[in-house]
Structure 1
Amino acid sequence: MTESGSAPGTLRPGGRTARTRAAVRDAVLTGLGEHGYPGLTVEYVAEHSGVHKTTLYRRWGGIEGLLADTLDLAGEDDWSPPDTGSLEGDLRALAREAADSFTDPGQAAAPTAIIAAAFQSRRAADALHAFYAERFSRCERVVHRAVERGEAPAGTDAGAVVRAVSAPLYFRLFITREPIDPALADQSATAVLAAVRAGAFASARAAGRPVMSG
């Protein structure tokens, strides 16, 4: 723990410390892309970030702490979900962005390695969960806008909708190890859109259906 009581690498200071944190983040991502999680070492991060390894151990505790802070820092960006003017366009854009992030050779190595790390490290898994929970929370606004425009039923579960868009893509990528492409991303968005319009994601109470009890 640091003097403030926070876990190593969890502070969000500015100035030189923020630059150091960003340099370490960049080195971690580069190392993940080149060597994957099993091959990433503190020595590698030290060499490529310019931060001495004793400092890395003191502030982050090791590779797990470095990876967790990399995800934490990624969640502090200013990314916003698409706003195309329609639910169909927004869902399609979200699906394509998810697909691109794991199929573009220039982008895919690091996030793929982070996913793999979550199966080997509990701390990495917790950090990944927090990252995606925050990301999906931002994406919910596309569904809220759709409800306001009358494109989706009142009571539509925004969180379930945005997760459903990327779920088939991630299943193929990490479970069945099948290729994905823009056409598959569009198919996923179209299927979710149809389910939204049919009320599949709306609560029974909001949709006016009788609520079954035990």
Structure 2
Amino acid sequence: MSGRSSAPGTLRPGGRTARTRAAVRDAVLTGLGEYGYPGLTVEYVAEHSGVHKTTLYRRWGGIEGLVADALDLAGEDDWTPPDTGTLEGDLRALAREAAQSFADPARAAAPTAIIAAAFQSPRAADALHAFYSERFLRCEAIVRRAVARGEAQPGTDAGAVVRAVSAPMYFRLFITREPIDETLADQAADAALAAVRAGAFDAAPGG
């Protein structure tokens, strides 16, 4: 992807370089939460990360590069999808996790600002797309286990299942600006589960 040295999840050098990137990422996320993308400045990141702004410009090029790299680092975490023993349990746990991440306004500020930034910055949009694509790849394990248990048909599109779980909540969060809770999360998961059982996400013949 343009502007990225590697895909999310790629191992990075350790030591000082890793610590510097982590400090810069934390400053970027904090700044996004406080001021949003339009209000975030290189000066703010320099002050809060302890990295001189000339270094930030040289290595990241500016705010677009800083936001994109923050998402790249987010993709390097050790997050794994739920494994409850049933497809229903996995989808409900996945949905509740998404709902909980936006339940606390302080905790939700940074991811909300990153999503908003994707509408203003092509590099942020590319980084956000790569981040979620990588998350969908991790969630394929949920569908593989469901197929092995006979809960889903072989060829079920894991990405489509995960999107179906999260889409109703993201619609309320970012389009209609309505609150979400655990009840809505369970409802979204149950709807996706019903669609899986109906074969709605089965791969097309020859696809």
Q: After TM superposition, is the score higher than 0.5?
A: yes
CA distance in 2: counterparts of 1:33 and 1:9, whole angstroms = 26
Shift of 1:102: 1.7
CA distance in 2: counterparts of 1:186 and 1:203, whole angstroms = 25
- List aligned pairs for 1:74-93, cutoff 5 A: 74-93=74-93
CA distance in 1: counterparts of 2:91 and 2:3, whole angstroms = 37
Shift of 1:154: 2.1
- List aligned pairs for 1:39-58, cutoff 5 A: 39-58=39-58
Is 2:81 aligned against 1:113? no
CA distance in 2: counterparts of 1:192 and 1:126, whole angstroms = 27
Is 2:196 aligned against 1:192? no
Contact 2:99 2:182 in 1 (8 A): yes
Identity in percent? 84
- List aligned pairs for 1:1-214, cutoff 5 A: 7=3, 12-205=12-205
RCO greater where, 1 or 2, for CA within 8 Å and sep 6 or more?
2
* Root mean square deviation, CA, Å: 1.9
Shift of 1:7: 4.9
Secondary structure of the equivalent of 2:102? helix
Shift of 1:26: 0.5
- Which has the higher Rg, Structure 1 or Structure 2? 1
| 2:46 maps to amino acid | A
Equivalent pairs counted in the alignment come to: 202
Shift of 1:21: 0.4
Alignment CA distance shift 1:8-1:118 (3 Å)? closer
Shift of 1:64: 0.4
- Give unpaired runs (5+ residues) of structure 2: none
Shift of 1:98: 1.1
CA distance in 1: counterparts of 2:5 and 2:144, whole angstroms = 34
Alignment CA distance shift 1:74-1:204 (3 Å)? closer
- Give unpaired runs (5+ residues) of structure 1: 1-5, 207-214
Shift of 1:104: 1.9
Shift of 1:105: 2.6
CA distance in 2: counterparts of 1:25 and 1:157, whole angstroms = 33
Contact 2:33 2:106 in 1 (8 A): no
Contact 2:3 2:123 in 1 (8 A): no
CA distance in 2: counterparts of 1:105 and 1:120, whole angstroms = 22
TM-score (norm. length: structure 2)? 0.92
Find the counterpart in structure 2 of residue 212 from structure 1: none
Contact 1:32 1:113 in 2 (8 A): yes
Shift of 1:162: 1.2
Alignment CA distance shift 1:26-1:9 (3 Å)? farther
